[in-house]
Structure 1
Amino acid sequence: MPDPRPAGDWRALVDDQAGARWDVLPVALVVLDGGGRIVQWAQAATDLLGYAADEVLGRDSTEFVLPQQRAAARSLREAVAAGRSATGSFPVRHKTGRTVQLEVWLCPVTGPGRAGRGMLCLAADAREAQRTRSGQALPEGWFTGSPVGLAFFDTELRFQQINPALEAMNGLPAAAHLGRRPVEVLPGVNSEQMEAALRRVLDTGEPVVNFRRIGRTPADPQRDRVWSCSYFRLDDPAGRPLGISGSIIDITTDERDDLSSTTARRRVTMLNEATLRVGSTLDVARTGQELADLAVPRLADIATVDVLRTVTDAAEPLTGLAADAALRRLGKAPVYGSRIADVLAPVGRILYFPAVAPYTQALVDRRPFLLPLVDARAVAPAARYTSTPEQIRRMGVHSLMMVPLIARGLVLGVATFLRADEPSSFDSADLALAGDLAAHAAICIDNARLYHREHDTALTLQRSMLPRRPQAPAGMEIAHCYRPASDINEIGGDWYDVTEITPERTALVIGDVMGHGITAAAVMGQMRTTVRALSHLDLPPDQLLDHLDQAMQELDDPLLATCLYAVCDTSTHRCRFARAGHPPPAVITPDGNARLLDLPPGAPLGIGGITYTTTEVALPPGSLLVLYTDGLIEARGHDLDERLTELTDLLGHTGQQPSGLCDTLVTHLAATPAEDDIAILIARVGTPTP
């Protein structure tokens, strides 16, 4: 008669082959930590070796192996620590002193509770195992008493036996498992993936270690749990597969710790990146785009950043919304390649929303807003104002966060984060991270706003105090220019002036207040007024600088400044100079030679107790004097003497017309973007001799 037992019945095949009776094999279970110390000792291990659990816990597992075999045992353990399963046979000392030859199988697993990563060791007395292989059944307490879930599957992946520990994990009796596949017994976990792993073990013979079973079982239907599963194939003496043995350990606590740790690491990493990538310049629009780029794709699939129009228009932001909101889109990610993002307004667009519209609620409430599920009901309130929410919902957006941008108590705007491709919804941890990122970006945006407001004020003040069109006295030709620092650098206190003392004598002055912003611009205005008044007294240059130095020390907010003062006589073509820490002037003679004038450098104004020196220089008629501030010649990473040489070389190869020379100097020498203000004053003294 044909065998009535189904094909692949592993126990039937074992019986036929006189193979191992795994349901009665006396196997002792021992769990080791990552360092090989014993952290769990089953009763079967006590029965096998005589030691109680409190006698072995915390001890190195190789202590019980006879000395001559300990090196081999450590090698086996190291192989398992590297992620491989391994088997071996070792003589182990029983508590009574006799020797027990053990057959062991070790595999890496995630330990129970807080035991951490470690190893699962199944050990059996080699002689008893041999007796069992000869068909002599032994007690099965090792199986029923194991705290680890144990299961055997046939070659059709049907449960053939499970122990009480696995019954408790699954919340179902053994009878509900036997003869059925995992997908039939446990639809609430990732059973299809589990079966794929089991088939891989059957096909390849390679164990699968630390497979994660995730989901809910009847034992705990209200929350997800995580188990670490390890599977290895059982073969008959001819090497044909009989089935699969599996061990299952609940690691939910460990997994939550890991998840918490992973979330914390992600949060720290992104916040660290935010400090480097968001707010890299004092540019409001760029900061908004940097925030969007940082959030996608690690936090969201789509992100937008909008600020109140009053922010970008340099007006004071509102502390709350009492009227309609006009927002400018500063950033959007991804910029290209996303059909959902394409539906959203582009960067630069002005968006208008009533104060009662749902979009502005994050601004009105000044609190982050989380919508875990974007469904038709959730987007219905926005339908009166815009069709976009419903449109992107239909395109796959299923979760949303809106986080206000608030800095120094001011509402600046809102950042919006959407998920479509990522299947999981935003949660409270995501909202906390988004809040931290938005808070950093808001400070950067507000810093840029405040900077630009002060920058514009200082620039307006600076330009209002410079001479609009210095009048060229008789016998002189004048050219001048002022170039402020770029937007990422503050306005300084560079200035120049031309004052006619007598019809033949003219004062040329150029200076630089050390410092930046409104204060430097204001001090510059005071200096220019003081110098103009002293110039009319017709003082020698050194005496004028002495008086100016004293005036600088009497300011309410003393600052240092450099200055070069010259009085040129167009009738004699002689000039007298005094220098207070300012770069030396250059002269271009009518024959095209250019050089720096060697003048005593002096010390900056405002120090006090300094004596300045007047130097008189005779110039050929038609010579060009070039006065400038240090912004023209100083460049990061370059030697000052080399830069001065570049200046004189450039002057020696330019034409003799003052007009256009200023632009030539700025074009060839100034850094881009400008790191400092630049002021240039050029004067032709007399008419060249034919």
Structure 2
Amino acid sequence: MRRANRNILGYMEPVAAVAVLDALGRVTGWSEGARLLTGHPAGDVVGRPAADLLAADVADGTLTERSGTIALRHRDGHRIEVAVTTCTLTDADGTPTGYVVTADSPDYTLAAQAFEQASMSMSVFDLEQRYLRVNEAACRLLGVSEAALNGRFFPDTVGEADYHQGFLRHLREVAETGRPVRYESFAGAPALNREHLWSVEMWPLRDGCGELTAVGIAAFDNTEQYWARRRLALLNEASAGIGTTLDVVRTAEEMIELLVPRYADFASVDLLDWVLGAEEPPALPDGAVELRRVAHGSTRPGNPGAALRIGETHVYPPNLPPARALREGRAVVSQADDPEFVAWLAERNARSPGGSPYRLGVHSMVAVPLLARGTTLGVAVCVRMAHPDDYGPDDAVFAEELASRAAVCVDNARRFARERSTALALQHSLLPRGLPKQAAVEVAHRYLPCGSVAGIGGDWFDVIPLSGGRVGLVVGDVVGHGIQSSATMGRLRTAVRTLADVDLPPDELLTHLDDLVTHLAADGSGEEIAELGATCLYAVYDPVSRRLCLAAAGHPPPAVILPDGTAELVPMTAGPPLGVGGLPFEATERELPEGSVVALFTDGLIDYREQDLDGASGELLRALRAPADSLDTLCDNVLKAVLPDQPCDDVALVLARTRALGADRVATWDVPPDPAQVAVVRQAATEQLAAWGLAEASFVTELVVSELVTNAIRYGEPPIQLRLIRDRALICEVSDASSTSPHLRRAHAYDEGGRGLLLVAQLTQRWGSRQTAGGKTIWADQPLPDT
């Protein structure tokens, strides 16, 4: 008996099952292979009729036929079906003397069936790359029969594609080296409508002596796994590529860039109108729905698949896939033979500008809603034309997952835009809309909201007219961004205005403001101020004395540009930020020549970049020194010179050019503490009004001077001084050394006093008192006559 060998298919060759029969059909020879096949040893079979080995339903003459499949009875009783070949033995005269019957091994039959019926493509090539065997799966892929391939050279049966050349190169490598090869190839086949991903394995086939005789090949179709990996990779890419900016339209565009061309030949994103505004989401309509196109993309030049232009709206009928997707909250897949697909394509082509080449080749679409946090935002539509595969269930699942991630980014952008719009509206409502009229300074200002995703900050400024023709200049900054910072800024601006109306010096005003913040934080109502932090700079300019008095709470000092072009930051000691406490606030005074420019600003103007503050301040001073036609022009020039296109923090800038009230507009008298002097100063005031051409104001002025000077002589302390100022209003001031301030009250019927201030309040626009370093000043304003 011979040992088992390997044939060209790689199967183990069996030990031969051979039986020799005489002319009468009796067994005269019995091989080891026959024993292995039937279980009968030779001693039990030789001499017996061969018909005894057949199954009961098999005819006796079967074993003497040339070939065929017969059924044998195994020794243990089970039925065996084997293919047999019969060879007739003859003598010298040609008379039959017996038969030789051979049978294939069952193992060999199963291996051949496995090769032929394998679901993967399998084939065998000789060492010259000619076909020896192919199974049914390979024949289906190649679109030809095995007979048409056997013996042919591989390159003669395929084209010149790169993947065919790679297959041939690997085939030769195995034939030359005898080493197996495994690789992946994205290749097509004649019977397929597109390329598939194949995992190809090639291995050498050897004979019983170990000689290389052929190459076996198996190719497994991994296309579904490949596309699943591609979809997963797209989802991973979406996590990093969608939502890079808090902008609704840009987020939609990023989604389109991800879908085209890898998932769709054309894709569009349409949103409900409220998503692009600041409104609350309304209920989704049950029927037709109106959507606005925000982004689309196509693989074709010129984007011919777009029936809408960016920004246009369209009402989708309820039976079309986009409206269904919105209504049902799931992806709707539609193919070319579906009625709703035909209706959608017809409707789309009817509104396509200039006719539609788009309908040619369109064979599949999927509409998927953009859902985020239970809210429907819009719909994305993906269409395939050049892509050969229709959308299937896996594609719908992918579309829903991708749309879900994109919808969250769109909703985040929508919420950010809404909060930013709200914060900006709140801040604009809290900032001065128009600066009040006053003669002390000429003012120009700029406010730039933050251009980053952090949102609107809490920078603010104000110009506050004060008594005596003076003006208060304020700039402040609440750390942080958003509505909370804007609201905090509004509270601080209101507090500063209230304290400024009391005519407090800058250091005292900041002290009271700091106490207010501390008290608010203690009772919880101002906790956000202490958490965020706030700074403030308050300055008072007096056009009569031309002195600037200022104090800061953790805020950068202002810059001063003198008429000769000299520019510097005002040297001053800045106290701690508001709410910190522990250190006093110090006031700084400086006399300025008329025409000087005082620049107040927030830190967003100088500390936005990586350079040191000294370098940033130097650049600011250079920009302020540059000549300009007006303060408004200088504001613009400064911002262009020192800021990037998108500032990373809010910026507030206030420029104030100082004016002076000279001796021709101010009259001052020292008043001895003698009641008889009241008439003298009253007469002097009347004469001064006449010199100013304001004689019509003499009656009220005489009454005001008499009342205020009389009160100072009677209740105050010397020295006493009367001052008249002709500004936008006529100002009458009486100062004395007493710190006790009068207050308005209603006199009773028999009171001898208490009526003077009531008359002053009724005859003038406004009146008040302010504390000074040497006592107090009582003042009253009255409008100038029309002349």
Quickly name the TM-score band, shorter chain normalised: 0.5 to 0.7
Tell which deviates more after alignment, 424-433 or 575-584: 424-433
Instruction: Indicate conservation of the 8 Å contact 1:382/1:389, yes or no.
Output: no
Structural mapping, 1:324-473, within 5 Å: 324-334=288-298, 337=301, 340-341=304-305, 343-371=306-334, 373-375=335-337, 377-382=339-344, 385-387=347-349, 394-473=359-438
Q: Is residue 2:584 matched to residue 1:606? A: no
Structural mapping, 1:266-665, within 5 Å: 266-334=230-298, 337=301, 340-341=304-305, 343-371=306-334, 373-375=335-337, 377-382=339-344, 385-387=347-349, 394-486=359-451, 488-553=453-518, 554=520, 555-559=525-529, 560-655=533-628, 657-665=630-638
Percent sequence identity over aligned pairs = 34
* CA shift in 2, pair 1:201/1:397, >3 Å: same
Q: Distance in 1 between matches of 2:433 and 2:151?
A: 86
Runs of 5+ consecutive residues of structure 2 not aligned to the other structure? 17-102, 116-121, 176-180, 207-211, 663-787
Structural mapping, 1:182-261, within 5 Å: 228=200, 230=202, 245-249=214-218, 251=220, 255=222, 259-260=224-225
Deviation string 1:218-241 (CA, Å, 9 cap, x unpaired) is: xxxxxx99784649899xxxxxxx
Structural mapping, 1:30-49, within 5 Å: none
Instruction: Indicate conservation of the 8 Å contact 2:292/2:313, yes or no.
Output: yes
Residue 44 of structure 2 aligns with which residue?
none
* CA shift in 2, pair 1:688/1:230, >3 Å: farther
Tell which deviates more after alignment, 146-155 or 290-299: 146-155
Deviation string 1:250-309 (CA, Å, 9 cap, x unpaired) is: 646xx47xx53x445434432333233222222111111111011111111211111111
Q: Distance in 2 between matches of 1:439 and 1:580?
A: 48
Instruction: Indicate conservation of the 8 Å contact 1:549/1:606, yes or no.
Output: yes
* CA shift in 2, pair 1:392/1:367, >3 Å: farther
Question: Per-residue deviation at 1:201?
Answer: 5.4
Over alpha carbons, which structure has the higher Rg? 2
* CA shift in 2, pair 1:45/1:592, >3 Å: farther
- Aligned counterpart for 1:668 among listed residues 633, 641, 645: 641
Letter in 1 for 2:423: A
Question: Per-residue deviation at 1:395?
Answer: 1.1
Question: Per-residue deviation at 1:387?
Answer: 3.4
Deviation string 1:357-388 (CA, Å, 9 cap, x unpaired) is: 433111111111223x3236342343784436
* CA shift in 2, pair 1:251/1:618, >3 Å: same
Instruction: Indicate conservation of the 8 Å contact 1:152/1:244, yes or no.
Output: no
Look up the SS of the partner of 1:441 in the other structure: helix
Residue 188 of structure 1 aligns with which residue?
none
Deviation string 1:472-503 (CA, Å, 9 cap, x unpaired) is: 42232222222222374411111111112212
Q: Distance in 2 between matches of 1:517 and 1:229?
A: 62
Q: In angstroms, what is the RMSD of aligned CA positions?
A: 4.4
Letter in 2 for 1:509: V
* CA shift in 2, pair 1:150/1:539, >3 Å: closer
Q: Distance in 2 between matches of 1:197 and 1:282?
A: 48
Letter in 2 for 1:379: F
Question: Per-residue deviation at 1:182?
Answer: 7.0
Instruction: Indicate conservation of the 8 Å contact 1:561/1:605, yes or no.
Output: yes
* CA shift in 2, pair 1:436/1:388, >3 Å: farther
Q: Distance in 2 between matches of 1:526 and 1:193?
A: 80
Letter in 2 for 1:638: Q
Residue 131 of structure 1 aligns with which residue?
none
Tell which deviates more after alignment, 565-574 or 330-339: 330-339
* CA shift in 2, pair 1:150/1:487, >3 Å: closer
Instruction: Indicate conservation of the 8 Å contact 1:326/1:350, yes or no.
Output: yes
* CA shift in 2, pair 1:151/1:25, >3 Å: farther
* CA shift in 2, pair 1:370/1:440, >3 Å: same
Q: Distance in 2 between matches of 1:490 and 1:339?
A: 35
Runs of 5+ consecutive residues of structure 1 not aligned to the other structure? 1-23, 31-40, 48-138, 185-190, 218-223, 235-242
Q: Distance in 2 between matches of 1:498 and 1:272?
A: 54
Q: Distance in 2 between matches of 1:201 and 1:248?
A: 12
Q: Distance in 2 between matches of 1:591 and 1:360?
A: 71
Question: Per-residue deviation at 1:409?
Answer: 1.0
Deviation string 1:303-335 (CA, Å, 9 cap, x unpaired) is: 111111121133223353235322111111138
Residue 79 of structure 2 aligns with which residue?
none
Q: Give the total of aligned pairs.
A: 530
Look up the SS of the partner of 2:528 in the other structure: coil
* CA shift in 2, pair 1:179/1:375, >3 Å: closer
Look up the SS of the partner of 2:269 in the other structure: strand
Instruction: Indicate conservation of the 8 Å contact 1:215/1:226, yes or no.
Output: no
Letter in 2 for 1:366: G
* CA shift in 2, pair 1:216/1:686, >3 Å: closer
Question: Per-residue deviation at 1:408?
Answer: 1.4
Q: Distance in 1 between matches of 2:15 and 2:577?
A: 89
Look up the SS of the partner of 1:660 in the other structure: helix
Instruction: Indicate conservation of the 8 Å contact 1:626/1:682, yes or no.
Output: yes
Residue 683 of structure 1 aligns with which residue?
656
Question: Per-residue deviation at 1:686?
Answer: 2.4
Letter in 2 for 1:496: F
Q: Distance in 1 between matches of 2:644 and 2:169?
A: 69
Instruction: Indicate conservation of the 8 Å contact 1:207/1:233, yes or no.
Output: no
Deviation string 1:579-615 (CA, Å, 9 cap, x unpaired) is: 1111110000111110001111222112233421111
Letter in 1 for 2:576: A
Instruction: Indicate conservation of the 8 Å contact 2:307/2:349, yes or no.
Output: no
Letter in 1 for 2:537: L
Look up the SS of the partner of 2:514 in the other structure: helix
Q: Distance in 2 between matches of 1:563 and 1:575?
A: 16
Instruction: Indicate conservation of the 8 Å contact 1:631/1:677, yes or no.
Output: yes
Instruction: Indicate conservation of the 8 Å contact 1:399/1:426, yes or no.
Output: yes
Letter in 2 for 1:455: R
Instruction: Indicate conservation of the 8 Å contact 1:282/1:447, yes or no.
Output: yes
Question: Per-residue deviation at 1:565?
Answer: 0.5
Q: Distance in 2 between matches of 1:643 and 1:616?
A: 25
Tell which deviates more after alignment, 580-589 or 538-547: 538-547
Letter in 2 for 1:408: R
For normalisation by structure 1, the TM-score amounts to 0.67
Look up the SS of the partner of 1:515 in the other structure: strand
Letter in 1 for 2:376: V
Letter in 1 for 2:326: L
Instruction: Indicate conservation of the 8 Å contact 1:216/1:225, yes or no.
Output: no
* CA shift in 2, pair 1:229/1:481, >3 Å: closer
Letter in 2 for 1:462: Q
